[in-house]
Amino acid sequence: MPHVEVEDGDDDLGRGQTALLSNTGGLTQSGAIIKTLWSGAAASKNHWHRSEDELVHTFEGGVTLVEGEVVTLLNVGQTACFKAGTPVGHHLENCAKSLPRYPVMRTRSGGDVMTRANTAETVTIKTSGKYITMALAK
């Protein structure tokens, strides 16, 4: 069995770690990661997907979901789903001192457009095997 690649990040969104589960097996139709966020960090910028469903489920700790104007605490065992084509931006933040861990699962359509809700920038996502190419347009 191949080793799961883990990426550590520390940027303008804060510190986080991502285990790239689906890339390990070269999956092309579904994506799955396990995300860990340090206190004060956000998992992404506010966004929504045109062609890909997305789901998160909290394993450990609590994480704050910002979806449009609604802010919700996701506790252990809670799930949030984001249907493709629904133009409501969402992102997750760690507003606590704990280290939340949660999987993120999504379809890989092969050609998605992700819109950053606050800026209207779009990111074209093309999946080819285990590689993802992104192109930003304003």
Residue 57 lies in a domain: yes
Residue 56 lies in a domain: yes
Contact 100, 58 (CB under 8 A): yes
| SS3 state of residue 131 | strand
Residue 122 lies in a domain: no
Give the per-residue pLDDT at 131. 42
Contact 99, 43 (CB under 8 A): no
Predicted TM-score (pTM) of the model is 0.84
pLDDT in tens, the chain (138 residues): 678 889 999 999 999 999 989 888 888 788 899 999 999 999 999 999 999 999 999 999 999 999 999 999 999 999 999 999 999 999 999 999 999 999 999 988 777 888 888 887 877 776 654 445 455 555
Give the per-residue pLDDT at 130. 42
Residue 34 lies in a domain: yes
Number of domains in the chain: 1
Distance CA 138, CA 131 (A): 23
Residue 130 lies in a domain: no
Residue 97 lies in a domain: yes
Domain range for 102 is 5-108
CATH of the domain at 15: 2.60.120.10
Give the per-residue pLDDT at 1. 63
**CA atoms within a 13 Å half-sphere pointing along the CA-CB vector of 58:** 22
Contact 124, 115 (CB under 8 A): no
